[in-house]
Structure 1
Amino acid sequence: MEIFAAGREFVRRDARLLERRLFARLFEGADGAGVLDALRGYRNADGGFGHGLEPDKRSPASTALDVETAFDVMLAADVRDDELIGGACDWLQSVATPEGAVSLCNPAIEGYPRAEHMSEWTYAPALNPTAGLVGRLHKLGFEHPWREQAGEWCRGELAKGLPEDAHGMHEALEFLEHEPDVDLDQVRDWLPKLSMYRANADDPSYGVTPLHLAPTPDSRWRQLFTQEQIDGHLDRLLADQQDDGGWAITWEPPGPMATLEYRGVVTVGALRSLQLNGRLSID
Structure 2
Amino acid sequence: MSDSILDTASAFILREGRLLERRLFATLFQAAPATGVVDALRGYRNEDGGFGHGLEPDKRCPESLPIDVEVAFQTLSTAGVPGTDPMVSHACDWLATVAAPDGAVPLSLPVMEAYPRAVHWSDWTYAPGLNPTAGLAGLLHGMGVEHPWLTRATDWCWSALEKGFPDDAHAMSETLVFLEHVPDRDRAERLAERVGEWLPQLKWYRSDPADPEYGVSPLHLAPHPDSRWRRLFSDDVIEGHLDRLAADQRPDGGWAITWEPPGAAATLEYRGVETLRALQVLGAYGRVPSS
Band the TM-score falls in, shorter-chain normalisation: over 0.9
Aligned residue for 1:160, secondary structure, equals: coil
Q: What do residues 239-281 of structure 1 show as CA deviations (whole Å, max 9, x unaligned)? A: 0000000000011000000000000001011111100111113
2:81 equivalent in structure 1: 79
Alignment of 1:6-45 (within 5 A): 6-45=8-47
> Does 2:277 match 1:269?
yes
2:213 equivalent in structure 1: 205
Q: How far has the Cα of 1:282 moved from its partner?
A: 5.9
Q: Structure 2: how far apart are the matches of 1:251 and 1:146?
A: 33
Q: Which of 171, 174, 179 is equivalent to 2:174?
A: 171
2:242 equivalent in structure 1: 234
**Retained in 1: the 8 A contact 2:8–2:253?**
yes
Q: Which of 67, 70, 76 is equivalent to 2:69?
A: 67
Query: What letter matches 1:176 in structure 2?
Result: L
Runs of 4+ in 1 over 3 A off after TM superposition: none
Alignment coverage as a number of residue pairs: 283
Q: Structure 2: how far apart are the matches of 1:250 and 1:185?
A: 32
Query: What letter matches 1:261 in structure 2?
Result: E
**Retained in 1: the 8 A contact 2:104–2:128?**
yes
> Does 2:136 match 1:133?
yes
Higher mean displacement: 75-84 or 197-206: 75-84
Aligned residue for 1:76, secondary structure, equals: helix
Q: What do residues 69-128 of structure 1 show as CA deviations (whole Å, max 9, x unaligned)? A: 001111111113521000100000111011000000001110000000000000000110
Q: Which of 242, 247, 254 is equivalent to 2:255?
A: 247
Q: Structure 2: how far apart are the matches of 1:98 and 1:183?
A: 25
Any stretches of 5+ residues in structure 1 without a counterpart?
Answer: none
Higher mean displacement: 180-189 or 69-78: 180-189
> Does 2:97 match 1:94?
yes
2:126 equivalent in structure 1: 123
Any stretches of 5+ residues in structure 2 without a counterpart?
Answer: none
Q: Structure 2: how far apart are the matches of 1:72 and 1:120?
A: 24
**Retained in 1: the 8 A contact 2:219–2:241?**
yes
Q: What do residues 124-178 of structure 1 show as CA deviations (whole Å, max 9, x unaligned)? A: 0011000110000011111111111100000000011000000010011111112
Q: Which of 159, 163, 170 is equivalent to 1:160?
A: 163
> Does 2:115 match 1:107?
no
1:196 equivalent in structure 2: 204
Q: Structure 1: how far apart are the matches of 2:192 and 2:61?
A: 39
**Retained in 1: the 8 A contact 2:104–2:156?**
yes
RMSD over aligned Cα, in angstroms?
1.1
Q: What do residues 49-85 of structure 1 show as CA deviations (whole Å, max 9, x unaligned)? A: 0000000000001011000000111111111352100
